[in-house]
Amino acid sequence: MGRRDRHDRGLRSPLLPYDVPAWTSRAEQFDDLVRDAVERLEGRWAGEWGRVEFGTEDIPPSDPTPWETGVPLGRLFPADLGQPARVVLYRRPVELRADGPERAALVRDLVAEHVAHLVNRDPEDVDPDYGLPT
């Protein structure tokens, strides 16, 4: 059953069409940035990195690891007991540090750093654009 406005003038409609970019939430936009960064590297490195899950979370857990200082932007969880390795990027800390094209470059660099750790290479070897602005 549709809802009517407070003056009983008819059904409410969305403010934006479903197919415009503004319809997606910030979390969905961040997921798209991570997906794009992973797809850039997947063709070349998927055979070497093995089973890996890439994901996003809004904020890091409140229990930092002993070697972390400050708020982490992402974490690599090694494979354990048959579970695949996991790379998790944290949306809110990344959003607070970069905006627009800089955010895309930061996400690209974070994914490259974690993949480099998985395949025992330098981030510059994994992604030639590492450290470059978008």
Domains with residue ranges and CATH for the chain: 34-59+72-126 (3.30.2010.20)
pLDDT of residue 1: 47
For residue 1 the two structure tokens come to: 């059953």
Calculate mean pLDDT across residues 63-85.
Answer: 84
pLDDT at 24: 76
Rounded CA separation 52/113 (Å) = 14
pLDDT at position 100 over 90: no
Higher pLDDT, 132 or 92: 92
The continuous run of DSSP H or E covering 109 comes out as helix 101-119
What pTM was estimated for this model as a whole?
0.81
pLDDT per residue as tens digits for the range 11-69: 666 666 667 666 678 899 999 999 999 999 998 888 888 899 999 999 988 776 777 67
Strands 85-90 and 52-57: parallel
pLDDT of residue 53: 95
Separation between Cα atoms, residue 9 and residue 11, nearest integer Å:
7
Secondary-structure breakdown of the chain: helix, strand, coil percentages, each rounded to the nearest 5: 45, 15, 45
Gap between the Cα atoms of 4 and 25, Å rounded: 25
Residue 124 has pLDDT above 70, yes or no: yes
